[in-house]
Amino acid sequence: NAGVTQTPKFRILKIGQSMTLQCTQDMNHNYMYWYRQDPGMGLKLIYYSVGAGITDKGEVPNGYNVSRSTTEDFPLRLELAAPSQTSVYFCASSSDPPNYEQYFGPGTRLTVT
C-alpha cells in the first residue's frame, strides 16, 4: 500500500508559468483534500472533493483549480504562478464519515521566482 503519493517533490516555477501537482491515493477513499503550508504556519485548505466529479473550494482557492475524474486522482492546477504561491503543498485523503482521519502525502515544495 503506497497510501497518498504526490509528484513532484520539488519544483521551481517562474512567475506566470503554470503547472499541475499530482496526487494519487490507493485506499479507495472518497474524500480528498489539497492544503498549503506557508513557512512556520499551519495548513490551509485550498480545495476538497467528496467523490469523483465533485469538488468545492476551501479557505484559500484563488489561483488554483482542481478536477476529480477518478476516485484515485486529485490533481491541483496552478495557473499564472505568483510569488505568493511559494509554499509546501499537501494532498490528503480520508474515508467516509464518521471516520475523518486524514492520510497525508509527503508534500511538494514549490518556489515561484
31 forms part of the interface with another protein (CB under 8 A): yes
**What CA–CA distance (Å, rounded) separates 96 from 44?**
21
Cell readout for 13 is 516555477
Q: What is the Cα gyration radius of the chain?
A: 13
In sequence order, the 6+-apart residues with CB closer than 8 A to the CB of 54 are 68
Chain positions 33 to 52 lying near another protein, rule: CB under 8 A, are: 33, 35, 40-45, 48, 50
86 forms part of the interface with another protein (CB under 8 A): no
100 forms part of the interface with another protein (CB under 8 A): yes
**What CA–CA distance (Å, rounded) separates 8 from 109?**
8
Name the minimum Å distance from CB 36 to another protein. 11
Kindly tell me which residue out of 19, 71, 75, 104 binds another protein, with binding defined by CB under 8 A. 104
88 forms part of the interface with another protein (CB under 8 A): yes
In sequence order, the 6+-apart residues with CB closer than 8 A to the CB of 82 are 15, 63, 112
Name the minimum Å distance from CB 111 to another protein. 15
Site residues for another protein per CB under 8 A: 31, 33, 35, 40-45, 48, 50, 56, 58-59, 88, 90, 92, 94, 97-98, 100-102, 104, 106-107
